[in-house]
Amino acid sequence: MENAVNMPAPRADFKAPSPAAETAETAKFAARTGRKAAEAKRRAHRRAGGLLSARFLGIAAAAAALALLALDPPRYAAACAEGIALWAEAVLPALFPYFVLTGALTRLGAAGAAGRLFSAPMRALRLPPAAAYCFAVSALSGYPAGSRTAADLAAGGALPRGALRTAALCSTAGPMFLLGTVGGAMFHDPAAGAVLLASHLAGVILVILFTTRRAKPAPAALVPAAARADGVLQESVHAAVVSVLCVGGAIAFFSVLCEALSAAGLLRLFSLLPAAALRPAGAQELAEGFVCGLVEATRGCALLAGKGGPLALPLCAFLVTFGGACILAQQLGYLRTAGVRTLPFLACKAAQGAAAFLVCLALSALFL
């Protein structure tokens, strides 16, 4: 027939699966599915247990801190006032204008222009083009301006989420803090500030260079759109006020925490291991200042500068590059919104701190 459809003839060797084979295959599939479900359930239980343990430890630590503060309120009020004074005298004047101006630049589309200008070197480093702008903001303004800028650009699609190397690159101290506060006011030596700044930036960049080979090429990102110019100043000032107040709150809180650790004898206890490591160099007296700097870097640098010695400046280089708990908390507050994971970021900052320590040790021997 003309309208008949030509159907392929069935293969002579074709055999339909037997009911027993179908039953066996179904059983295997059910077993695989059951194993996967059981494994997922175990992972969920482990995560829940970890969260409960972390929550319990957090509650216990907060309750212990409250009890400690209640034992001597005037002492901790003075420590809080000291942290606020440090913020008002040294941090606020250095950060606030930069926060306003970098916020305005970001809103006006400067990140896109910088990305186009430095796209080739960023591509060679396997970083997104906007990372160049984030690094420039961080190197000029200091933390946490670079982290805040990275979070803003990630929210707009100009940076991929979870960009760990970009986050580590844009978490630097500002030149005003390193040259003026640490070098001039603490060490009373402008050359020490210059060595510290060079070591700090070298440590940050060296780790990025060493991790380039294993890094994946940066995915394509959106070009950040520029905002309307008429509302940029008001938005930038408002965002800068909120950011700088958060910085002040973190400095005040961690100053109190450092004082509480000292009062409880924990600061001296935690200093035993660094003191043992520093004893061969005859610098064990620097251990307590170093441990204090792991909590609040500015206070630690002041203690190290007061003690002096050939290792004081290299240890400061580690502290300002790693950041200490106070600075890390500020940075991670922004970076978590950009999908950056905490532990890899801390590991990267520790590596940068170690590199800055070694560079500063060499530069100090040559120029100081």
Minimal CA–CA distance to 252: which of 131, 76, 128, 127?
A: 76
Residue 15 or residue 278, greater confidence: 278
For residue 67, pLDDT over 90 is answered with no
pLDDT of 34 reads 60
| Highest-scoring range by mean pLDDT, 112-116, 131-135, 282-286 | 131-135
CA distance 204 to 91: 22
Report the percent of the chain where pLDDT is more than 70: 82
Classify the phi-psi angles of 323: left when phi > 0, otherwise alpha if psi is within -120 to 50, otherwise beta: left
Confidence of residue 2 (pLDDT cuts 50, 70, 90): very low
For residue 264, pLDDT over 70 is answered with yes
This prediction's pTM: 0.78
Average pLDDT over residues 246-252: 87
Helices (H) and strands (E) in the chain, counts: 18, 0
For 358, half-sphere exposure in the C-beta direction (CA atoms, 13 angstrom radius) is: 10
Q: Is the dihedral of CA 311, 316, 319, 324 positive or negative?
A: positive
Task: Tell me the pLDDT tens digit for each residue of 159-218.
Answer: 888 788 999 999 999 888 898 889 988 899 999 999 999 999 999 999 999 998 888 877
Average pLDDT over residues 86-114: 81
CA distance 175 to 137: 11
Average pLDDT over residues 86-90: 81
List Cβ neighbours of 338 (8 Å cut-off, separation of 6 or more).
150, 151, 154, 155, 159, 161, 162, 163, 167
Buried residues in 227-266 as b, exposed as e (16+ CB within 10 A): eeeeebeeebeebbeebbebbbebbbbbbbbbbbbbbeee
Task: Tell me the pLDDT tens digit for each residue of 285-324.
Answer: 899 889 989 988 988 898 899 998 899 999 999 999 998 8
Classify the phi-psi angles of 188: left when phi > 0, otherwise alpha if psi is within -120 to 50, otherwise beta: left
Every domain of the chain and the residues it spans: 39-71, 73-367
pLDDT of 317 reads 96
Q: Is the dihedral of CA 316, 321, 326, 327 positive or negative?
A: positive
Task: Tell me the pLDDT tens digit for each residue of 29-54.
Answer: 655 666 666 666 666 555 555 555 66
pLDDT of 195 reads 96
pLDDT of 95 reads 78
pLDDT of 42 reads 62
Is residue 289 within 8 A of residue 303, CB to CB? The reply is yes
Q: What is the mean pLDDT of the chain?
A: 82
Confidence of residue 1 (pLDDT cuts 50, 70, 90): very low
Is residue 132 within 8 A of residue 121, CB to CB? The reply is yes
Minimal CA–CA distance to 102: which of 57, 146, 46?
A: 146
Task: Tell me the pLDDT tens digit for each residue of 320-342.
Answer: 999 889 899 889 988 988 889 99
Cα 311 to Cα 80, 303, 328: the distances in Å are 29, 13, 23
Is residue 338 within 8 A of residue 128, CB to CB? The reply is no
CA dihedral defined by 144, 145, 149, 152, rounded to 10 degrees?
A: 60
pLDDT of 258 reads 85
